[in-house]
Amino acid sequence: MKPLTVEVIAYAPTAFYHCQHCELIWQQTGTGDKARAEQLANNLPTELMQDYQKLSDWIIALVNKHHGRVSVQVVDAASLEGFIKSLRYGVRRYPAVIIAGGPKLSPAGLAEAEAAIELQLTTMSPTT
């Protein structure tokens, strides 16, 4: 059975990487990981980071609960892909959950999103 696709558009912490050659140098000098950790720590305001942590915990629990029946893709709302998906789905508030390319649940009430996912999983046939 093909897993149910769940897209989550949210403000997510982002770390930027250099080209492969530069990354090799950063790794050898031991400064790359420290700089990246600093980027992630300072990337989002505290409130957004707490919201992202709650969302992350929910996603981990969802994936663990359904053992491969759900595939979750998190898209940073501030990225080009996030901007395009927000336009496509008419998302104006985050996080937004889109189940199987269908209607959005925005802002995502995680309990509401989980109920919709459960419903979708029960209606899916084993050959889907």
Q: Which of 15, 52, 21, 20 is nearest to 35 (CA)?
A: 15
Model confidence at 128: pLDDT above 50? no
Q: Which segment of 1-10, 20-29, 94-103 scores lowest on mean pLDDT?
A: 20-29
Q: Is residue 128 part of a domain?
A: no
Q: What is the pLDDT of residues 79-90, one digit of tens each?
A: 999 999 999 999
**pLDDT band for position 103 (cuts 50, 70, 90):** confident
Q: Is residue 24 part of a domain?
A: yes
Distance in angstroms (rounded) separating the CA atoms of residues 30 and 117: 43
What are the residues facing 99 on neighbouring strands?
6
Q: What is the pLDDT of residues 59-74, one digit of tens each?
A: 999 999 998 899 999 9
Average pLDDT, the chain: 80
Q: Which segment of 11-15, 29-33, 92-96, 115-119 scores lowest on mean pLDDT?
A: 29-33
Q: Is residue 114 part of a domain?
A: yes
Q: What is the CATH classification number for the domain harbouring 90? A: 3.40.30
Count: domains in the chain:
1
Q: Which residues contact 27 (CB under 8 A, 6 or more apart)?
A: 33
Structural domain span for residue 38? 4-123
